[in-house]
Structure 1
Amino acid sequence: MNPQIGKYLIGFGLLILIVGLIIFFFGEKLSWMGKLPGDIIINKPNLKIYFPVATMILLSLGINLIIWLIRKFF
């Protein structure tokens, strides 16, 4: 088996751990996530549709910044 796969799995596991710790300790301070002005919410009787457009754009920009920083410095 390729040892590079093991490195990726360890990195992915650490990333999940870090995200879990952030949510556990700072979850109440992140309550604005999913309630941004660009998120679309449709409420009708017996139907609720939620499109988190602005939240996904913000997360995408953050993840791309992290990936760019990792590639630049490693």
Structure 2
Amino acid sequence: MFRWLIVVFLALLLLNGFSALLRKIGLGRLPGDFEITVFGKKIWLPIATTVLLSMLAAGIARYL
């Protein structure tokens, strides 16, 4: 269980690091991606992008 926690944390960290690149290619602006401003800080919730990228990763993993 601890191993999955580390994997999820690293995946979220990578997604946060690549968020600027993902927005440049249009993945951060899909319907279902939310940007919420709370107390002057923007919080980005890329739900649709996460689903799309996980489907892409599953498709690649299936053929490897």
For structure 2, list consecutive stretches of 5 or more residues without a partner in the other structure: 1-20
SS in 2 for 1:37: coil
Residue of structure 2 in register with 1:31 after alignment? 25
Equivalences for 1:1-74 in 2 at 5 Å?
A: 31-44=25-38, 46-70=40-64
Higher strand share: 2
In 1, Cα distance between equivalents of 2:46 and 2:56 = 15
TM-score by length of 1: 0.49
Task: Give the superposition deviation at 1:49.
Answer: 0.8
Which aligned runs of 4 or more in structure 1 are off by greater than 3 angstroms?
Answer: none
Identity %: 36
Q: CA deviation at 1:60?
A: 0.1
Count of aligned positions: 42
Shift of 1:43: 2.4
**What RMSD over aligned residues (CA atoms) do the two structures have, in Å?**
1.7
